[in-house]
Amino acid sequence: MSWIDSILSSWRLSVLINRVLKGYFHCSRGVRQGNPLFPLLFCIAEDFISRFLSRMVESSLLLPISSPRGLVAPTHLFYANDVLIFYRGTVKNLKSIMQAFDVYKGLSSQFIKWSKSSIFFGLSISHAWIGRLQYLVGMQIEHLPFSYLGVLLFRGKPTGSLLQPVVDKIISKFSKWKGKALCMVGRATLIKSVITGSFVHSVMIYKWPSLLLRLINRNLRNFLWTDLCEESKLIWVAWNRCFRPLSNDGLGLK
């Protein structure tokens, strides 16, 4: 605690006037930008609201959504400042949730903008009830599918029509000028970075349709050997061999 207090109270700010630094000012609150302590403090603050919501569920002040037999439905998911909460669509539940975040606001001084938040409803709720609940919280109504932490969330099994926008986003990054401006090592590096950033995370969660996987592999293979995704030519090395690590005479592709 003394270390945290010294970090928060020891730093100063100066003002740039005519390109010259003038004076130093002590700050009464907050953490300076880029301080590695900030994520830890943020997690400590969010741990409170997580425990608070769990306590409300245990006390029957909040009713969670129904779940299949033998499974426990989640009540909330936190990742940094991205929050998903799952509860039954009742007036009592919504009021309890807003009261919980009011308590959190009073203790942490972090204000929640409900107008920038979204609310989703199940299929069994009527339009009249949706309008009443939406008016109560003041959130905008959204519908599935939507993206959370870079992964598309939807109802049902993953289909080609749902995941096609992800494929289009991957292929769009291999534009014509990039292929012409890069050597083969550069193109291989671009393939690795794009796949790692835009593709592998989603594949780890969903079982993708084989048709889309073949489409992505074909475009990546063409880009590596011909500079363009649409053109193909004689390939020097088998595609399966490209997946081997560099130490085994491969390219290290995922």
pLDDT tens, position by position, 89-115? 888 998 999 899 999 888 888 888 888
And the tokens for 22? 């003038």
Chain CA centroid to CA 55, Å: 26
Q: Before 145, cis peptide (omega within 30)? A: yes
Q: What CA–CA distance (Å, rounded) separates 118 from 143?
A: 9
Q: What CA–CA distance (Å, rounded) separates 52 from 152?
A: 28
Stretch 187-197: mean pLDDT: 78
Amino acid at the residue 25: F
Quote the mean pLDDT of the chain.
83
| For residue 46, pLDDT beyond 90 | no
| For residue 235, pLDDT beyond 70 | yes
Among 11-15, 34-38, 107-111, 112-116, the range scoring the smallest mean pLDDT is 34-38
> In sequence order, what are the residues at sequence separation of 6 or more whose Cβ sits closer than 8 angstroms to the Cβ of residue 110?
45, 104
Q: What CA–CA distance (Å, rounded) separates 6 from 201?
A: 39
pLDDT (0 to 100) of residue 241: 83
Q: pTM for the full model?
A: 0.66
| For residue 26, pLDDT beyond 80 | no
Beta bridge partners of 26: 12
Residue bearing the bigger pLDDT, 49 or 191:
49
| Helical packing angle, 160-172 and 210-226, nearest 10° | 10
Stretch 160-179: mean pLDDT: 80
Give the confidence band of 57 by pLDDT, cuts at 50, 70, 90: very high
DSSP 8-state class, residue 79: E
